[in-house]
Amino acid sequence: MSGRLGDLSPKQADALHQFRERIQDVLCQLPAQHDHFLLRWLRARNFNVQKSEAMLRKHLEFRKQMKVDTIISDWRPPEVIEKYLSGGMCGYDREGSPIWYDVIGPVDPKGLFLSASKQDFIRSKIRDCEMLHVECTVQSEKLGKNVESITMIYDVEGLGLKHLWKPAIETYGEILQMFEDNYPEGLKRLFVIKAPKLFPVAFNLVKHFLSENTRHKICILGGDWQEVLLRHIHADQLPAIYGGKMTDPDGDPRCRTRINHVGPVPPSYYVRDHVSVDYDRCLTVSRGSTQQLDYEILFPGCVLRWQFSSEGADIGFGVFMKGKKGEWKKAAQMEEVLPSQRYNAHLVPEDGSLTCERPGVYVLRFDNTYSIFQAKRISFSVEVLLPDRLKAQRDHGGAQSPKDGQGDHAS
């Protein structure tokens, strides 16, 4: 049985009755009280009444803390989020569910985070969820049937290393967790279109925030993505840029009045010069010397991601490749991958990423050879990001890990 009204087993029907009885004291505080809504919480916890009750009561605390009931009328996102965070609701699928679009490529994660708080991003997504809930209610009344979930389309063309910036990924993970905890069964399906080579790495970073049920609703489409979308969405409800016939009144195929298409955030919006980071390790680079961190990459397509800051003065940094793990070489003897240069990491923390197109030993090298008087203390984090298809191999001992080289090494 599907666990939906009209398709309940006797055990599921009994669980619904018990659930309603146990939450009588808070029923009036919910955004909806009908059985369709209550069944969403039961399905999210496999009809375990006790767990479903705990989930719902925690949600009510969330609504009170975040002032969710008035967030649409009483709160508005900062201008920079309204202008430079992509996405929007546009059209309905063939079953009448609202469609939400996210256009990832042009988004400027660092510019947004330098201009608004993490709380602002989370609240803006709560507001979006509440607006979509209202739209589902309107559609239910209009169509005379229950509409409780949305279709999402993720346009990931242009997804790049800037989108793997650690503070942005961590916040996105918090938003996904918030969605899972407070809007169960709110997603009908998610179509990922125009996915680049980097997408498996990005997906691997966030998929652990998603429940197994949500993962099953994600469809990563290939070259026939327009045909697939049209099987689920009427042409007059699909923007022309995505293979449909919908345009704005002025003929814009991107439907910009409904879907926010963005660009880089102007520095005039910045309210801080960097985002604070918790680093994993520290090392000291003696005056006139270097320190190297070796990472053996066994598979092409992995990503090296780093963040570091220095105390007191600048530090040189570059990325190289060498032949054998554990073997120390000077920079001149290694292949230069990212040219070494001096960074004012004592003023603004430095972060970066590199797609490893070839297997090999990649060397992250901190250079203090130009300083004859001052040692440099470096705080840093380094990660190897695996494509999704390699995760199982890693879990069974078949993927890469940091290897010892010269001096102090990452672990």
Model confidence pLDDT, tens digit, residues 81-123: 999 999 999 999 999 999 999 999 999 999 999 999 999 999 9
Given a cut of 70, is residue 404 above it in pLDDT? no
Helix axes 49-65, 10-22, angle to 10 degrees: 40
> What are the structural domains, with CATH classification, of the chain?
10-54 (no CATH), 69-269 (3.40.525.10), 281-403 (2.60.120.680)
**Cα–Cα distance, 259 to 123 (Å, whole number):** 19
Q: Could you read off the pLDDT of 126-185 as tens digits, one per residue?
A: 999 999 999 999 999 999 999 999 999 999 999 999 999 999 999 999 999 999 999 999
Helix axes 35-44, 10-22, angle to 10 degrees: 100
Given a cut of 50, is residue 226 above it in pLDDT? yes
Structure letter (DSSP) for residue 236: G
Q: Which residues contact 297 (CB under 8 A, 6 or more apart)?
A: 304, 356, 358, 359, 360, 361, 362, 384, 400
pTM, two decimal places: 0.86
Q: Minimal CA–CA distance to 104: which of 29, 195, 37? A: 195
Provide, for the chain, the percentages of residues in helix, strand and coil under a 3-state DSSP scheme, each rounded to the nearest 5.
35, 25, 40
**Residue 170: what pLDDT?**
92
Task: Count CB atoms within 10 A of the CB of residue 213.
Answer: 14
**Residue 138: what pLDDT?**
97
pLDDT band, very low/low/confident/very high, at 332 (cuts 50, 70, 90): confident
**Cα–Cα distance, 35 to 18 (Å, whole number):** 12
Given a cut of 90, is residue 224 above it in pLDDT? yes
**Cα–Cα distance, 401 to 411 (Å, whole number):** 8
Helix residue ranges per DSSP H, 312-396: 391-395
Asked if residue 87 lies in contact with residue 145, where contact means CB atoms within 8 angstroms, the answer is no
Structure letter (DSSP) for residue 4: B
Classify 382 as helix, strand or coil: strand
**Residue 389: what pLDDT?**
60
**Cα–Cα distance, 174 to 162 (Å, whole number):** 19
pLDDT band, very low/low/confident/very high, at 328 (cuts 50, 70, 90): confident
**Cα–Cα distance, 104 to 107 (Å, whole number):** 6
User: Strands 290-297 and 218-220: what pairing?
Assistant: unpaired
Asked if residue 153 lies in contact with residue 217, where contact means CB atoms within 8 angstroms, the answer is no
**Residue 334: what pLDDT?**
93
